[in-house]
Amino acid sequence: MLKTRKYKMITMQLIYKGAEAELWETQYLGFPVVVKRRIRKTYRIKQIDERIRKNRTRREAVMLAEARGCVNTPFVLSVDLKENTIIMQYLEGKTLKQLFLEGYKNKKKTSTEIGRMIKKLHDKGVIHGDLTTSNMIKTRKGIHFIDFGLSYKSDKTEDKAVDLLVFKKMLKSTHWKDFEEIWGAFKQGYGDETVLSKVEEIEKRARYA
């Protein structure tokens, strides 16, 4: 396992700081990489915090590899459970959020493709847990899915529907001008009416709860 000290001497640039983790861009074995480091939570008991971060780091590395069997994800180069870090391939490209907000011309075609890809994930029993256009990067080699920190395994229709509902709600808030076009094309690509109907059912339950 790669220890943090091995890449401390290399220039590292912070590219994202979230509630759960930091993303750093650096070099590893001569290749551009991203180091995902889970942040220590001081409000949690130290032993519990360590266990949570270690489990989430391990799970994300496993789920990235699992998902890679059916969709594009960054290659995992190293996992350090002591430092709670994952070193993975750096993806050169733009997020779909950026592209869509910039008036991307192939929005409809790409949305259909996303639907097909998420259907492949769900058929493999992979629930992403945080489906947003910020977690999809378009490179020269196609669309890649990132950030599997909340992912888990499930074949339940309800879990798949909740996954899609997260995506739908995000579209309504972030891409509201193009919501109908994107969601309509996405549904066409996903194509599973059982899961899509469950999305509507869950929405109705929440509305009248």
pLDDT value for 145: 98
d(CA 190, CA 112): 7
- Identify the pLDDT of residue 2: 41
Say what the pLDDT of residue 10 is.
64
Prediction pTM value: 0.89
Sign of the CA dihedral with 31 first, then 52, 72, and 133 last: negative
Low-confidence ranges of the chain (pLDDT < 50): 1-7, 9
What confidence score (pLDDT) does residue 209 get?
53
How many Å apart are CA 173 and CA 80, to the nearest integer? 36
Query: Out of 130, 155, 163, 192, which one is annotated catalytic?
Result: 130
Specify the pLDDT at position 29. Answer: 85
31-46 residue pLDDT tens? 899 999 999 998 999 9
| Angle, helix 107-123 to helix 179-190, in steps of 10 degrees | 40
Q: What is the pLDDT of residues 29-82, one digit of tens each?
A: 888 999 999 999 989 999 999 999 999 999 999 999 999 989 999 999 999 999
pLDDT of residue 1: 39
Domains of the chain with bracketed CATH: 5-89 (3.30.200.20), 94-208 (1.10.510.10)
> What is the Cα–Cα distance from 133 to 136, expressed in whole angstroms?
5
| Known catalytic residue at 130 | yes
pLDDT at site 9: 44
pLDDT of residue 20: 87
Task: Give the separation between CA 139 and CA 131, rounded to whole angstroms.
Answer: 18
R_g (Cα) of the chain, nearest Å = 18
Residue 3: per-residue pLDDT: 43
Is the four-CA dihedral 157, 153, 67, 28 of positive or negative sign?
A: positive
Q: What is the dihedral of CA 43, 48, 51, 53, to 10 degrees?
A: -10
Q: How many CB atoms lie within 10 A of CB 42?
A: 7
